[in-house]
Structure 1
Amino acid sequence: MTIGSNSPTRQGQLSVLLAVCLAALILPLSFSGAAMATHTIGQELGGTAAAMNWITNSFMLTFGGFLMTAGALSDVFGRKRIFISGVVLFALASLGLSVAPSLGILNGLRAVQGLAAAAALAGGSAALAQEFEGHARTRAFSMIGTTFGVGLAFGPILSGFLIESFGWRSIFLSGTLVGSLSLLIAIPRMTESKNPDAAGFDWFGAATFTAMLSLLTFALIEGPANGWTSAYVLTLLFGAAAALIGFVALENRVRQPLLDLSLFRYARFVGVQVLPIATTYSYVVLLILLPLRFVGIEGYDEIEAGLLMLALSAPMLVVPLLAATLARRIAAGMLAGTGLLIAAAGLFYLSRIEIGADTMALVPPLLLIGIGAGMPWGLMDGLSVTLVPKEQAGMATGIFNTTKVAGEGITLAMVNAILAAFAASALQQAISGKFNGDEIGAAARHLATGDLARAAHLLPGISPETLAATYGTAFDALIYVLIAITLLAAAVVFGLLDNAKPSEEEANPVVSPGE
C-alpha cells in the first residue's frame, strides 16, 4: 500500500497518519514548552534546584521507562487500544497540569503525562506499521519525524508566546486541545490489530526494566545534591545494576520476552540504536539547556528566547525529509555520520560564543547543530521499523523509542549533574576561600538550572556578572564533553551503518548477524 494510491483504504490510512502525527506533535511541544516555562514556574511555585529539574526529568523518566512496555502491550492487547488510552490520559494529565497548585503536584502529573506519552507513541507507531507497506511505510514514519521537527521548531516560540500572553499554564492546556483533536480523528478510522503470535505479556521483564531505568535516573539526579559516594546514591546505583542483571537473566528464559536480546546480534540494529543517543547529546540536551541559559542567565524574555531557539530547531522542518530523500542514493550511515560531524562542528562553534554576546552571533552555530542533527533524525525512525518482521513492529518501535527517550532522560540527568559539577569547580576557583563547599555546591546547582537570582542569594557579595561568567566557563566545558561523545558516535555509525539504505532494509527486513 502507498500513501498516494487510489485504493479504498487510502482515506483511512491518511486519517490514521494524521491522528498519530497530531499525537506526536504534542510530545515535543510538551518537552520544549516545559523547558521554556521552567524559570517562570520556579518564580511562581518555588522549589529547590533538584525539584526544578524534575519538571523535565519526571516526564522523561516515565516516558522512557514505559515505552518498551507500551510497545509490547500494544502487540498483545491491541495497538489502537493502547494508542487511544495513551492520548486520553495525556489530555487529562495536561488539563490537570494547567491547574496544578504546587510544584510537587505538577511534577507528579508530569510523570503521568510521560506514561501517557509512551502509550500514545508506541501504540501509534505500531498501528502505522500495520497500515503501510514498503516505501509508503518509510514515508509515513518520515512524516512522524517531520512532525516532531515541526514541534521542535515552533515549540519554543509558541511556548514563549503563550507564556508571555496567557501564563505558563496555557502551554499544558494546549496538549489537551491537540490530544482531543487526535482522538476525534483516530477513534472512527483506526482499526484494531494485534500480534497473532503473542503468547502473553512479560510482566517481570517490564518491572525489572522499569526499575533499572528509574533507579539509574534517580541516582543521576540525586547525585549532585547528596554526593556520589553517599549511601543513598550508591544504593540507587547498585539497585539499578541488580535490576539490569535480573532483566537480562529473565529475558533469556521467557517465551515472549519484553526485549528480544538476540536482535542485538545484528550490527545494523545496534547502529540504529546509536543514532538517537548521538542526537540526544548533540541536539536534544540543548533544547533544555539553552532556554535556561537564555532566560535565566542572559536575561532574554520567553519570546526572544523562543525566536533564538528557532535557529536550532527550524532545520528540523527541512533536513530530515531531505536526508530521507538522499538516502535512496547515498548510504544512510554516510549521511548520518556526516550529520553528526556537522553537529560536532556546530557545538565547537557554540563554545566560542561568550555569555552576553550579540544575539546574532549565536545563530550560525545553532543552525549548524540543527542541520547536522537533522540528518540522522530523518533516517533513524524509518530504519528502526524495517529491521524486524512486521509482526514484531511493536517490539521494534518499543526498543528504538525506548533507546531514544530513555537515553534522553538519562542524558539530561547526567548533563545537569556534569554542568553543576563544572559550575561548582569554576565557582571554587573564582571565589576561593569566601564560602564553604556546601554553599558553593548549592549555588552551582541553581546556576545549572539557570536560576541566577537564587545563586546570587546563596553567595552574597558575588556579582551577577561573576556568576554569569562562571556559568559560561562551565557551559563551555560541558560542550567539549558533548563534542567528544558526538564524534565517538559518528565513528560507530560510520562503522556499523556504512552501506545501509532504507530501500535495502525494506526489501530485506531481517539481516544476518554482523551484517
Structure 2
Amino acid sequence: MSAVSPAPEIPNAPDPRRWWALGALVAALLVIGFDTTILNIALPQMATALGADTGQQQWIADSYTVVFAAGMLPAGLLGDRFGRRSMLVAGLGIFLAGSVVGTLVDSAGLVIAARVIMGLGAALITPLSMAVLPSVFGPEERAKAIGALSAAAALGMPLGPLVGGWLLDHYWWGSVFLINIPMAAIAMVVCLFLLPETRDPAAPRVDLVSTALSTTGLCALVYGIIEAPHRGWSDPLICTALAASAALLTGLVLRERRAVRPVLDLTLLRRPAFLWSAVTAMLVSFCLLGLLFVLPQYLQAVLGYDAFGTGLRLLPMMGGLLISARTAAPLAARFGARPVIAGGLLVLAAAAFLGSRTQVGDGYGMTALWLTLTGFGFGLGVVPAMDAALGSLPKDREGTGSGLLMTLRQVGGAIGIALLGSLLASAYQDRLDTTGLPPGTAEIADDSVIAARLLAERLHSPELAASADRAFVHGMGLTLLVTAAVSLAAAALTASFMPGRATPDGQTTEAPPMAQEHSDARQ
C-alpha cells in the first residue's frame, strides 16, 4: 500500500498558494500551445539551414502532434499509479530536455527526435495538469481554474505564430525551442513545492501490452489522418495505417474489457456527464483547430500580412476567449452546464457562418468580428464541458479520466485539421484557373495559395494571383460552413443528451443551486 493517500477533500481554508501553482500550470500549457503552431513559422528558415526536404519538414511539424496524442492515455494511468504531481513534474522535465536538444542540434533527423521528446513530455503535462486540479480547488473554484488552463492551451496556438515571428526577426531558428526552457523550469519548481501529491493506492501495475496497443494504435490513426490530405485517402500507406489503427485499437478494447484497471477506461463513458462532455470537447477542438489551420493562410496569402502581423490579427479571438473564460463558470453555476455549452456552440456556429460569407475584397474588420465571436463561443463551450467531465470522475479515476478526455480532444483537433484541410485543398484546386500554364508550373500553383501567389509574382501574372485568391476564399467558405454545421450538431447533441449537474457518484440534478436551496428550505 502506498504511503500517499488518495486525493484529499478540499479543506475549509484552501491554501492561498494554490493560485501560484495554477500560474505555473498556465505557463506550462501556454508553452505547449506555442509548440503546436510555432514551428510552422520557423520551417522555411530551418529547411534552409538544415537542408530538410518536404517530407522532413512535415515530420518536424507532425511528430510532436503524433506522440502528443498517442501518449496521453497511458499518461493518466501513470499519474494514478506513481503520483500525479510526480508524473507532471517528470513531464515538464522531459519537455524541457527536448527543448534543450532542439536548440543544440544541426540536422533535420535530430530536430524530429527533439520534437518527439517534447511530444512525450506534453502528453504527460496536459492531462495531469487537469487531473491535479480537484485536489487543489474546490467545486466552486474548479471551473475558474479549468477556464484558466483551457484559455492558456487555446491562446498558445494563435500566439505561436506571433511569438515565433518576433523571435525569427531577432534571433536564429533555434530560439523557438529556447523560449520553452525557462518557463518549463519555473513550472517544475513551483509544481514540486506547491502542489500536493495524489495517487490511487489501488492502481495496478501499468499494462505494457495495453500501453503499446494504445500508443501504436493512436499513432497509426493520427499519422493516417495527418498524411491523408497530402497523399490521398486511397493511398496504400494511408489505408494500411488506418487499417492497422483499427486492428490495434480493437485489440486494445477487447483486452481492456477484461482488465481490472484499464489504460482505456471505457467504463467512464457509461457516465453520461463524462461521455457528452467529452464528445462536446472533441467536436469543439475539431472546429477550432480546423479554423486555426485555415485562417493563417487567408491572413498571409490573401490579405498579405507577414508572420508577426498574422499572429497579431488573431488576438481578437484571444479577447473573446478571455471574456468567456471568466463568464462561463458563473453562468454554469447559475443555469447549469448544459445550456451554457449549447449556447457557446451556437455562438461558434454563428461565427463560422459569418466567416463563410467572406469575399475576396473584404478587409480585416469582418474577420476581427467573427474571430472575437469564435473565441467567445469556444470558451463558453469548452470550459463548462471540461469542468462537467472532471466533476463526474471519482477520485481514483482522475488521472485516467483526464488522459482519456485530453486524448479525445487532441484526436478531434487532428481530425479537424485533416478533414477540413483536405476539403480546403480540393475546393481550391477545383476553382483555380491555371489556363495557359505549363503542366509542371500548374502543379506548383495547385499545391497551395501561398505557392500560387509566389508563382504569380515571379511570372508577373496578376490574373493567376486573383484566381488563387478567389479559389482559396471559396474553399475557406466551404470549410467554415462545415465548421458551422458541426457546431450546430454538437449544440443539438448537448441540448438533447447531456444530463444536468453530475457528481462523482453518478447522480445528476437539473436544479440550479438557488432552486435547490429553496427546495431544501421548503422541506
> TM-score, length-normalised on structure 2?
0.86
Offset, 1:203: 2.1
Offset, 1:356: 5.5
Which letter does structure 1 place at the counterpart of 2:370? P
Partner of 1:472: 473
CA contact (8 A) 1:346 1:369 kept: yes
Offset, 1:114: 1.4
Describe the superposition over 1:100-150 as per-residue Cα deviations: whole angstroms up to 9, x where unpaired. 534444333223211111112233332333333332333333332243355
User: Which segment drifts farther, 101-110 or 479-488?
Assistant: 101-110
Partner of 2:5: none
- CA–CA distance in 1 between the matches of 2:443 and 2:403? 38
Cα distance, 1:344–1:14 mapped onto 2, change above 3 Å: closer
Partner of 1:348: 353
Offset, 1:443: 4.5
Describe the superposition over 1:223-277 as per-residue Cα deviations: whole angstroms up to 9, x where unpaired. 3443332322221121111112111101101122012212222322221012222
Does 2:280 correspond to 1:279?
no
Which letter does structure 2 place at the counterpart of 1:145? S
Offset, 1:304: 1.5
- CA–CA distance in 2 between the matches of 1:386 and 1:169? 40
Partner of 2:264: 259
Partner of 2:413: 408
Partner of 1:492: 493
Which letter does structure 1 place at the counterpart of 2:489? L
Offset, 1:20: 2.0
Offset, 1:174: 1.1
Offset, 1:67: 0.8
Describe the superposition over 1:284-330 as per-residue Cα deviations: whole angstroms up to 9, x where unpaired. 22223322332245421122212211122221212122011111111
Cα distance, 1:442–1:116 mapped onto 2, change above 3 Å: farther
Does 2:446 correspond to 1:444?
yes
Does 2:428 correspond to 1:423?
yes
Which letter does structure 1 place at the counterpart of 2:491? A
CA contact (8 A) 1:36 1:159 kept: yes
Offset, 1:177: 1.6
Which letter does structure 2 place at the counterpart of 1:282? C
Does 2:398 correspond to 1:393?
yes
User: Which segment drifts farther, 210-219 or 246-255?
Assistant: 210-219
Partner of 2:233: 228
- CA–CA distance in 2 between the matches of 1:445 and 1:510? 53
Select the residue among 59, 69, 93 that pairs with 1:88: 93
Offset, 1:431: 3.1
Which letter does structure 2 place at the counterpart of 1:378? V
Cα distance, 1:263–1:326 mapped onto 2, change above 3 Å: same
Offset, 1:432: 6.2
Cα distance, 1:55–1:513 mapped onto 2, change above 3 Å: farther
Which letter does structure 2 place at the counterpart of 1:370? G
Cα distance, 1:180–1:73 mapped onto 2, change above 3 Å: same
CA contact (8 A) 1:64 1:405 kept: yes
Offset, 1:3: 9.0
Cα distance, 1:478–1:435 mapped onto 2, change above 3 Å: farther
- CA–CA distance in 2 between the matches of 1:493 and 1:104? 44
Partner of 1:313: 318
Partner of 1:141: 146
Partner of 2:505: 510
CA contact (8 A) 1:423 1:474 kept: yes
Partner of 1:79: 84
SS of the counterpart of 1:327? helix
SS of the counterpart of 1:178? helix
Which letter does structure 2 place at the counterpart of 1:469? R
- CA–CA distance in 2 between the matches of 1:153 and 1:218? 23
- CA–CA distance in 2 between the matches of 1:287 and 1:492? 24
What is the number of residues matched between the two proteins?
502
- CA–CA distance in 1 between the matches of 2:156 and 2:182? 15
SS of the counterpart of 2:313? helix
Which letter does structure 2 place at the counterpart of 1:322? T
Offset, 1:56: 3.8
- CA–CA distance in 1 between the matches of 2:350 and 2:317? 14
Which letter does structure 1 place at the counterpart of 2:497? L
Question: 1:17-416 alignment to 2 at 5 Å?
Answer: 17-38=22-43, 41=46, 51-152=56-157, 154-355=159-360, 357-416=362-421
Offset, 1:33: 2.5
User: Which segment drifts farther, 181-190 or 483-492?
Assistant: 181-190
Cα distance, 1:332–1:306 mapped onto 2, change above 3 Å: same
In the alignment, structure 2 segments of 5+ residues that lack a partner are: 1-7, 511-523
- CA–CA distance in 2 between the matches of 1:237 and 1:415? 18
User: Which segment drifts farther, 30-39 or 482-491?
Assistant: 30-39
Offset, 1:41: 4.7
Please tell me the root mean square deviation across aligned C-alpha atoms, in Å.
3.1
- CA–CA distance in 1 between the matches of 2:247 and 2:358? 43
Cα distance, 1:358–1:440 mapped onto 2, change above 3 Å: same
Which letter does structure 2 place at the counterpart of 1:431? T
CA contact (8 A) 2:274 2:390 kept: no
Which letter does structure 1 place at the counterpart of 2:402? T
SS of the counterpart of 1:422? helix
Offset, 1:434: 5.7
Which letter does structure 1 place at the counterpart of 2:270? R
Which letter does structure 2 place at the counterpart of 1:470? A
Offset, 1:371: 1.4
Describe the superposition over 1:432-462 as per-residue Cα deviations: whole angstroms up to 9, x where unpaired. 69666x9766653444xx4446766999977
- CA–CA distance in 2 between the matches of 1:325 and 1:216? 38
CA contact (8 A) 1:444 1:455 kept: no
